[in-house]
Amino acid sequence: MNEKILIVEDEMDLAKGLKLNLADEGYEILLAANGKEGLRLALTEAPDLVLLDIRMPEMDGLEVCREIRKTGSGIPILMLTAKGEEADKVVGLEIGADDYMIKPFGLRELQARIKALLRRSKAGGGAAGSRHRIGACEVDFAAFKVQRKGKWTDVSSLEMSILKHLIEHAGEVVTREALLEKIWGYEKFPTTRTVDNHILKLRKKIEEDPAHPKHILSVYGEGYRLV
């Protein structure tokens, strides 16, 4: 069965162009011209990935992303932003978007990022094993969940991939650049803030006191180390 991509974009010329090109790559495409319709399709049609514009009528992309994540869904979300929307871009990553692209963007780069997100979503736990314990927290890679104090919390495929890489390199310093290349597939990236935002989300799910972490430690000027 072909992978299904939901495009939520109110610029119909852009949406139709994306549909045409991605369909040529073998994807099944769903289109939504506003946030409310995009949210409905995301929750009822079970797409494998969502391309989500931020600025839209009726419900903006940030709210759509927030509502999808409230359901516990770990579906990959790639946000489309305009130049100058730096604040929205950061908020999107903080509330659960996996990646973003700034308009105008190249089709080949978009296709590469889509493939990377879908590949990571399918990979699941992989070499880190089905379950792993970090302090008082239990990580279930197969179920995309972590348990702390008897409470299970959903973790996105992106967060699991970051955690898996940290576990595989436990005790070592893992740079932000290494994570961007390994997890996102970028050799060069304009900012490492993306990594920091996702580390903050992981700490909230794993650490007893996220403001004073004991397991996912920052290494000043370098990156992170799992202990």
Opening angle at CA 212, ends 207 and 218, nearest 5: 90
Element (H, E) at 198: helix 193-206
6 pLDDT more than 90: yes
Query: Residues 46-78: pLDDT tens digits?
Result: 999 999 999 888 899 999 999 998 887 878 899
Same fold, 4-123 and 126-226: no
The domain segmentation of the chain, as residue ranges, is 4-123, 126-226
Kindly give, in sequence order, each residue whose CB lies less than 8 Å from that of residue 104, ignoring residues fewer than 6 positions away: none
Find the DSSP H helices in 127-192. 157-168, 176-179
Return contacts of 210-217, CB within 8 angstroms, 24+ apart. Answer: 214/135, 215/134, 215/135, 215/137, 216/166
The CATH number corresponding to 4-123 among 3.30.70.20, 3.40.50.2300, 3.30.470.20, 3.30.2350.10 equals: 3.40.50.2300
Query: Residues 120-165: pLDDT tens digits?
Result: 777 654 444 578 889 889 988 877 788 888 888 888 777 888 888 8
pTM score of the predicted model: 0.70
- SS3 state of residue 150: coil
Return the CATH number of the domain spanning residue range 126-226.
1.10.10.10
**81 neighbors 89 (Cβ within 8 angstroms):** yes
How long is the chain?
A: 227
84: tokens are 């100058």
Distance CA(4)–CA(99), nearest Å, equals 18
